[in-house]
Amino acid sequence: MPPAVVTVEKFAQNRALGESGAMPPVDDPAAPRRATLAAVADAAGVSIATASRALNGRGDLASATRRRVHAVAREVGYVREPSVGGRPLGSARLLDLVLGSYDDDYSAEVTAGARTAAADAGYDLVLTEERDTPDDDWPLRIRRRGSAGVVLGLISPTAPQLSALADASIPVVLMDPRSDAPRGLTRVHTTDHDGGRSAAAHLVERGATRFAVLLGLPRYRYGRTRHAGFREGLREALPGSAATVVQAEWRSSSARDAVIPLLRDLAPGERLGVFACSDELAAGVYAAASATGRRIPDDVLVVGFDDLRGARWLTPALTTVRQPIREMAAAAVDALADAAAGGELSGGPIVLPTRLVVRAST
């Protein structure tokens, strides 16, 4: 008699049963046969090795080839074997949140909002940190674990990164992107322009006689938009007035050094109204005021942007434009969950409103 042929999967199954003392099961000839990798490869017109690389996110394959293999796998109901570390195609109850870091108040708010929304939708949330190195392969890691969707927060993804996710049919939502989003991508952000506009009107109302805008470097999309809104609001509330533009890195220490010369030049009786494009930058204005002997809000009125937890802990508490960070993260997750359930992403903006929160700094 010819020797019996045992597949790797059957060997592993029989071994597990043998270790438990149970008898190996007898195949039921009437049971439907599961689609094989060979069947996927044949239907897609590729080799078995190519089909395997496409489904596992490995190898340098053409985008069209990857998409064709994934489409065929879904059509025939192919399920990758757990014994080799794969996941059933399209069935992973995982969503990825990708941020540049997870060690600040902003990322804490994003994570809290995304985690709650993911749990409500029946998904686990995976936290993925983008490393600023050439060998960072986070798109491939996401593909290999079979995530149902990805939220990219404060990140400007490259074309190859987006292509790697699109090839695997993994939907993407951008949350507060640093640059203008590529056409067709769903993005969640807040009314940055309106927020800057409301800050200008408030500083005029509170009696500022000079004005300054503290911009972050690099000049990301949301910083530019907030600045544009402030300029428009200032023209409307006080025609003929102008604001001095001060630029600093997105850190309080850099903002402090940039603002000190401006505060030293204040004439007696002047009240400087400063709009900082983030709460972190606003904290630098506080440090500059302390270094120059200026008092908030007597000499300097300060409005920030974000309304992170630290805003109310500053002394005096910071007036700021609140952007609904948790709600924005939840909206991004909800959009992905809808897409995973068979819906379609809008391909356009999802915009949530800002709100001016008045505290003692004005």
Q: How many domains does the chain have?
A: 3
Q: Are 131 and 137 in contact (CB under 8 A)?
A: no
Q: Is residue 362 part of a domain?
A: no
Of 84, 116, 144, which residue constitutes the final position of a domain?
84
| Spatial CA neighbour of 141 closest among 118, 165, 159, 124 | 165
Q: What percent of the chain has pLDDT over 90?
A: 61
Q: Give the C-alpha separation, 293 to 266, whole Å.
A: 11
Confirm if 304 and 318 have CB atoms less than 8 A apart: yes
Q: For residue range 177-219, what is the model confidence (pLDDT) as tens digits? A: 999 888 889 999 999 999 999 999 999 999 999 999 999 999 9
Domain containing residue 53: CATH number: 1.10.260.40
Among 52, 84, 116, residue at a domain's last position? 84
Domain-embedded: residue 341: yes
56 and 114, same domain (yes or no) = no
Residue type, 68: R
Shared domain check, 161 and 17: no
pLDDT digits (tens, 9 = 90+) for 123-174: 999 999 988 776 778 998 898 888 999 999 988 888 888 888 888 889 999 9
Res. 58 pLDDT band, cuts 50 70 90: low
User: Nearest 5°: phi and psi at 135?
Assistant: -95, 10
Do both 331 and 313 map to the same domain? no
| Whole-angstrom distance, CA of residue 277 vs CA of residue 249 | 11
202 & 270 share domain: yes
Distance of CA 321 to the CA centre of its chain: 20
Residues in Cβ contact with 311 at an 8 Å cutoff, skipping those fewer than 6 apart: 279, 282, 304, 317, 318, 320, 357, 359
Integer angstrom CA distances of residue 287 from 130, 167, 254, 300, 340: 31, 49, 10, 12, 47
Identify the residue whose tokens are 């987006």.
162
- Does any domain span residue 111? yes
Indicate if the pLDDT at residue 297 is higher than 90. Answer: yes
Domain contains 89: no
Residue 358 inside a domain? The answer is no
| Contacts for 244 with CB less than 8 Å, ≥ 6 apart | 210, 211, 212, 213, 262
Q: Helices in the chain by DSSP H: which ranges?
A: 8-20, 37-44, 48-55, 63-76, 105-120, 138-144, 159-167, 192-205, 221-237, 252-264, 279-292, 325-340
Separation CA 260–CA 251 (nearest Å)? 15
- Average pLDDT of every residue of the chain: 86
Q: Contact, 222 vs 153, CB < 8 A?
A: no
Provide the token pair at 213. 């805008």
- Residue 112, pLDDT above cutoff 70: yes
Structural domain harbouring 345: 94-190+326-353
Residue 3 lies in a domain: no
Looking at the DSSP assignment, which residues form a beta bridge with residue 126? 96
Tell whether 107 is covered by a domain: yes
Average the pLDDT over 60-86 and give the result: 69
Predicted confidence at residue 151, as pLDDT, reads: 97
pLDDT score, position 66: 74
The domain spanning residue 165 has which CATH number?
3.40.50.2300
Residues 18 and 70 in one domain: yes
> 275, 164, 150: which is closest to 223 by C-alpha?
275
Q: Is 291 exposed, middle or buried (0-12, 13-18, 19+ CB in 10 A)?
A: middle
Calculate mean pLDDT across residues 339-362.
93
- pTM across the whole model: 0.76
